[in-house]
């Protein structure tokens, strides 16, 4: 009902004479832009391409960030050196990596994936470090008493116990990665949702721009609802506080 009400208010605002349709197009015009994108295949292809880049980039960020976070948490020397550097690197917006990606990879999938992964990697690493540091020492001691050590201690005791924090890190990494892939596509003008935004701007088609922004927003809502919230409930039911 909330979204229905929002669309009604939107229609009332757009149908008034206070703002032109070049500022706020009607829901009908935006809907037509969405239908046209589906019919000509550009929207479906754009979503599929952006999601493919996102999945690859996020997988790289999660794998690399988790390993880096483990090293920072387990080795004080690494924490004192790389750990402090990560805080600075995380403050760099994803879009700021685009010029470097362009110089290294050109206007290719590799450049977009680089921006996508680098924007999420540091967030995952920092959250993994915090999660591991929050594991009670009693858990680690119990694992050692049962014969676990080295890699086995990390994979069987430390990582499972820090799952609630890890999921938060992955969720944060996803948000960084999603913004990164769209930003890179806009600037590189490579096929994807970002390029459809860029195309709408060049054609002065405000309906297409708003339609793509709505698609980007709803993908974020769906991923959060059907992936991360379910993971969080599952993890918290098993590893959360009793």
Distance CA 34, CA 64 (A): 37
Domain ranges of the chain: 43-239
User: Is residue 164 pLDDT above 80, yes or no?
Assistant: no
Segment among 22-26, 170-174, 198-202, 206-210 with least mean pLDDT: 22-26
User: Is residue 93 pLDDT above 60, yes or no?
Assistant: yes
Q: Summarize pLDDT for 108-134 with one digit per residue, the tens.
A: 889 999 999 998 998 898 888 888 887
Instruction: Give mean pLDDT, residues 202-212.
Output: 90
User: Is residue 140 pLDDT above 90, yes or no?
Assistant: no
For 43-239, give the CATH class. Answer: mainly alpha
User: Which are the contacts of 137, defined by CB distance < 8 A and separation ≥ 6?
Assistant: none
Nearest to 104 by CA among 90, 118, 92: 118
Instruction: Give mean pLDDT, residues 59-85.
Output: 84
* Higher local confidence (pLDDT), 89 or 157: 89
Q: pLDDT band at 71, cuts 50/70/90? A: confident
Which stretch of DSSP H or E encloses residue 201? helix 193-202
pLDDT number for residue 101? 92
User: Which are the contacts of 44, defined by CB distance < 8 A and separation ≥ 6?
Assistant: 37, 38
**Cβ 61 vs Cβ 117: under 8 Å:** yes
Q: pLDDT band at 54, cuts 50/70/90? A: very high
Instruction: Give mean pLDDT, residues 67-88.
Output: 81
Residue whose tokens read 């046209």? 36
Instruction: Give mean pLDDT, residues 49-61.
Output: 94
* Higher local confidence (pLDDT), 215 or 106: 215
Task: Report the helix count and the strand count for the chain, using DSSP H and E.
Answer: 14, 0
């Amino acid at each position: 009902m909330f979204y229905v009400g929002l669309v009604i208010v939107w229609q009332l605002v757009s149908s008034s004479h206070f703002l032109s349709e070049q500022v706020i197009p009607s829901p009908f015009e935006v809907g037509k832009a969405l239908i046209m994108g589906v019919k000509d295949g550009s929207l479906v292809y754009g979503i599929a391409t952006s999601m493919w880049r996102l999945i690859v980039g996020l997988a790289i960020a999660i794998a690399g960030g988790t390993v880096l976070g483990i090293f920072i948490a387990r080795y004080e020397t690494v924490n004192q050196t790389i750990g402090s550097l990560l805080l600075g690197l995380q403050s760099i917006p994803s879009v700021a990596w685009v010029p470097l990606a362009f110089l290294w990879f050109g206007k290719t999938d590799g450049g977009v994936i680089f921006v996508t992964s680098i924007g999420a990697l540091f967030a995952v690493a920092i959250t993994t470090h915090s999660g591991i540091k929050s594991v009670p020492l009693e858990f680690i001691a119990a694992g050692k008493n049962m014969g676990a050590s080295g890699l086995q201690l990390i994979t069987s005791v430390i990582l499972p116990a820090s799952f609630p924090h890890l999921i938060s890190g992955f969720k944060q990494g996803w948000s960084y990665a999603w913004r990164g892939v769209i930003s890179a596509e806009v600037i590189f003008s490579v096929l994807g949702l970002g390029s459809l935004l860029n195309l709408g701007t060049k054609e002065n088609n405000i309906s297409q721009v708003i339609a793509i922004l709505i698609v980007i927003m709803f993908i974020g809502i769906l991923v959060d609802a059907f992936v991360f919230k379910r993971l969080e409930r599952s993890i918290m039911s098993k590893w959360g506080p009793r």
